[in-house]
A and B are shown apart, each in its own frame.
Chain A
Amino acid sequence: MYRYDEFDAAFVADRVSAFRDQVSRRLSGDMTEEQFRPHRLMNGLYLQLHAYMLRVAVPYGTLNARQMHKLAHIARVYDKGFGHFTTRQNIQYNWPALSDVPAILDELASVEMHAIQTSGNCIRNVTADHFAGAAADEIEDPRPYAEILRQWSSIHPEFTFLPRKFKIAVNGADWDRAAIQVHDIGYQIVRNEAGEVGFAVYVGGGLGRTPMIARKLRDFLPKADLLAYTQAIVRVYNLEGRRDNKYKARIKILVHEKGVDPMREAVEAEFAAASREFISLPASEIARIKSYFAPPALQARAACDAYEARRQTDPRFAAFAANNVHPHRVAGHGVVTISLKPIGGVPGDATAAQMDAVADLAARYGHDEIRVSHEQNLVLPHVALDDLPAIYDELAANGLATANAGLISDIIACPGLDYCALATARSIPIAQRISERFGEGERARDIGELKIKISGCINACGHHHVGHIGILGLERKGVETYQITLGGSGDETCSLGTLTGPGFSSEEVVDAIERIVNVYMSVRTDRSEDFLAAYRRVGMQPFKEALYETSKGADI
């Protein structure tokens, strides 16, 4: 993974000391809240429902063991012993005191981390495929490019006061695990006819109040032009994006209102006119950044006796291996998903002890690599299958061996009204009850791959629009109600879910989900047709009938 050099370390240290000064000016009364707010947001510090919340950047979701131990330490010393991993591959602390935040930032800086640009109308943490560098279906590791974008966008003098926040994702595999088509810019690594590797460029995707799927601006962008082209897109957006209405300020609205062809013309014209002098990427520099991400030297293993033996004799282990282990590009290895979705638990939360346990496993068996996925799980990307029994036992001892990756109980849920000042309804308790209803056992496995995503307001941090089943919590006359959408997907077949109809009360919503699942089970051709495929084949009607059958009965 990327390692800071002196320059990077000093850059972060400068910013931490500036914020330390701002915090002390604020606490001494030398600065009003209004004056301080932009500074605290610049450093990822929000004021939420119960207390401050600090959002720490995990660039493209990659951590090493030392960093994970530090995150655990911060949870223990400055918070209530836990942290929350988010759909932006970041971690949030829910209870830090303002007066402690400079010390927390110092701790983070000591392990090459920070909270810069995790908030505000700037270019946010760049995200990438959480299986990057390990998955069998990858053209190239997207993280070197995400790192270059991260550096270039840090405290950008021109792009720190954009109309609205700006999110970039990079994906390197055929399977889009980074949901690039719902980002402001999505870069998909592709190979052109000449065999060169570059990027297909998508612009103007996003969820929130007006969800939109990105439009393609370019089939192929040479690597050298990554920053120049990004600059062109963001500059057009900065100059032309709407600033009269915060709900219409994202680039998706500009692309929509301007039209994709005029948008492309404007970006290409800006790109053609700008000097490349300092912004073209030299191949040597790309290679140097790439060398930080060199994959560990894994030996292909033909036989995995220890792994096979355990699989034959231990059905729980076998279920874990089947659900939570993804093929690695090197034979005899796997990519292990550590579910942060224990049955009935809070999606994405990990205790300090759990973080330490994962860090130890990564150091011992995982080539010192950990990933945070946008599905709010952790990943050990490079594991020898023969080490899996030992890893599994250690995970189980720490309550981390839930065998539900990709299943119905692997639910994404934003913090919702339990923490978030913007929320209209709770999302976590809904996730907990659905997870309890379906579990991780035979029934969940029989249902197969099913992504449920829950947001506590229209800001859609829980990505509900791209859930196979999406749930949106709203407030109606002071009561929490939940709308359901079906058929969304964030992968390369990206689609937005369709609303089933009127919403459901908190009491009704889990039953409603069960009805939807029952319809799927009855209409699917066989086990190989997953929920999304079945929905796309049969459409909304049978689900609607099952959900609203009583009112239909009354009509007859």
Chain B
Amino acid sequence: MRAGPMHYAISANRLRDGIVVFLGAGGAWVEQLAQAAAYPEKEQAEAALEGARGDEKRNLVVEAFVFPVRQSPAGLVADHIRDAIRAAGPSVYRDHGKQAETR
């Protein structure tokens, strides 16, 4: 897939049900990578991560982290396969996880 330059996004798991979430542009947590905020500089993402840590302290999410993404014609895509599988769901059950909702 042709993809643009590297950006950074932030992900975590929601405390209550463990579901993967992404930090959206307004600071709310969203369920689809497509709606996540993408930061061109890693430092910006690190700064946003500090904000997200507040939501860890408020017991909304756990294990927040920064990961690399790229812009593609289809929207944001994770650069690493691990993050891509997290953003989609198990590759062996296309009807499980986030991919089921976007089909």
Binding site for B on A (CB under 8 A): 26-29, 33, 47-52, 80, 94-99, 346, 417-419, 423, 426, 428-429, 432, 475, 478-480
Contact = CB atoms under 8 A, between A and B. Distances in A.
Contacts of A47: 13, 18, 62-63
The range of chain B's interface size is 20 to 34
Contacts of A80: 93, 96
Given A27-B16, A98-B17, A478 B80 contact: yes
B89 A27 contact: no
B62 A432 contact: no
Nearest to A480: B81
Given A99-B16, A418-B91, A428-B92, 6 more contacts: A27-B16, A47-B13, A49-B20, A50-B90, A418-B92, A432-B92
Contacts of B93: 80, 346
B25 interface: no
B86 A51 contact: no
A478 B83 CA distance: 11
Given A417-B81, A478-B81, A27 B18 contact: no
Interface in B48-92: 56, 58-59, 62-63, 79-82, 85-86, 89-92
B19 A426 contact: no
27 contacts: A26-B15, A33-B15, A33-B62, A33-B63, A48-B18, A49-B20, A49-B82, A50-B20, A52-B17, A80-B93, A94-B90, A95-B96, A96-B18, A97-B16, A97-B17, A98-B15, A98-B16, A98-B18, A99-B17, A417-B81, A417-B82, A417-B85, A418-B90, A418-B92, A423-B82, A428-B92, A475-B81
Given A27-B16, A50-B20, A480-B81, A426 B91 contact: yes
B92 A50 contact: no
Contacts of B90: 50, 94, 418-419, 428
Listed from nearest, the 10 A-B pairs whose CB atoms lie closest are A97-B17, A52-B18, A51-B18, A418-B90, A29-B59, A428-B92, A33-B62, A418-B92, A49-B86, A99-B16
Nearest to A427: B92
Contact of B92 (A26, A51, A96, A346): A346
A50 B16 contact: no
A104 to B, nearest CB: 13
Contacts of B13: 47, 51
Contacts of A95: 18, 96
A29 B81 contact: no
Nearest to B58: A29
B13 to A, nearest CB: 6
B40 interface: no
A52 B17 CA distance: 7
A97 B81 contact: no
Contacts of B59: 26-29
B56 to A, nearest CB: 7
Nearest to B83: A49
A416 to B, nearest CB: 9
A479 B79 CA distance: 11
B81 A27 contact: no
A479 B82 CA distance: 10
A97 B80 contact: no
Contacts of A418: 85, 90-92
Given A33-B62, A432-B92, A50 B19 contact: yes
A97 B18 contact: yes
B21 to A, nearest CB: 11
A27 B14 CA distance: 11
Interface centre among B16, B17, B59, B92 (most CB of A within 10 A): B92
Contacts of B82: 49, 417, 423
Contact of B19 (A33, A51, A429): A51
A80 B92 CA distance: 14
A442 to B, nearest CB: 27
B32 to A, nearest CB: 14
A49 B18 CA distance: 9
Contact of B97 (A27, A50, A99, A479): A50
B91 A429 contact: yes
Nearest to A345: B92
Contacts of A48: 18
A478 B56 CA distance: 29
Contacts of A50: 18-20, 86, 89-90, 97
Contact of B17 (A29, A51, A428, A475): A51
B31 to A, nearest CB: 12
A49 B79 CA distance: 16
B63 to A, nearest CB: 7
B6 to A, nearest CB: 13
